[in-house]
């Protein structure tokens, strides 16, 4: 299954930790036989390549359209209008939307839980893996 990975990148202070967590998420899903699209990895080479906002939006919409599901990694309590837009676009297309929310920021992200078709609240990498393996 082709999965689009959504995540908050802007205003995240520890981008190295975010990258490691996203790579861990992708590994879990790819080990289950899924293909994944991760914008910062696939289009930007983890920040080594500049891509215009217009090109990013086009790439995001194309990959959400192509995907069978959107899987969001949510580890920030700061509102993410980008993830919200990705979810709304996915809903318009009838996509499965799985919100993986770190337990520490669950309350601040109820609005994303409400848009998702499924919500996975996790408190560790192993907990996330166990829960994702049950639904994918």
The domain spanning residue 103 has which CATH number?
Answer: 3.40.50.450
Tally of domains in the chain? 1
Provide mean pLDDT across the span 120-131: 97
The pLDDT value recorded for residue 51 is 83
How many percent of the chain have pLDDT more than 90? 85
Domain housing 68: 2-135
CA dihedral 116, 96, 1, 16 (to 10 degrees): -20
35/54 Cα distance (integer angstroms): 25
Asked whether residue 10 carries a pLDDT value surpassing 90, the answer given is no
Q: What is the structure's pLDDT at 49?
A: 84
pTM over 0.85: yes
Report the distance separating Cα 63 and Cα 70, nearest Å.
Answer: 10
Rounded distance between C-alpha atoms, residue 99 and residue 121, angstroms: 8
Three-state SS string across 78-101, please?
A: CCCHHHHHHHHHHHHCCCEEEEEE
Give the tens place of pLDDT for each residue, 40-97.
899 888 878 888 888 899 999 999 999 999 999 999 999 999 999 999 999 999 999 9
**pLDDT at residue 54, rounded to an integer:** 87
């Amino acid at each position: 299954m082709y999965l689009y990975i959504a995540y908050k990148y802007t205003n995240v202070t520890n981008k190295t930790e975010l990258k490691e967590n996203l790579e861990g998420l992708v590994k879990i899903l790819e080990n289950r036989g899924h293909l994944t699209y991760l914008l910062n990895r696939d289009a930007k080479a983890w920040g080594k390549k500049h891509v215009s906002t217009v090109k990013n939006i086009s790439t995001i919409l194309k990959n959400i359209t192509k995907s069978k599901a959107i899987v969001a990694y949510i580890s920030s309590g700061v509102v993410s209008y980008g993830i919200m837009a990705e979810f709304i676009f996915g809903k318009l297309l009838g996509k499965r939307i799985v919100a993986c929310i770190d337990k520490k920021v669950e309350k601040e992200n109820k609005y994303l839980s409400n848009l998702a078709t499924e919500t996975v609240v996790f408190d560790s990498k192993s907990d996330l893996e166990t829960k994702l393996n049950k639904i994918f």
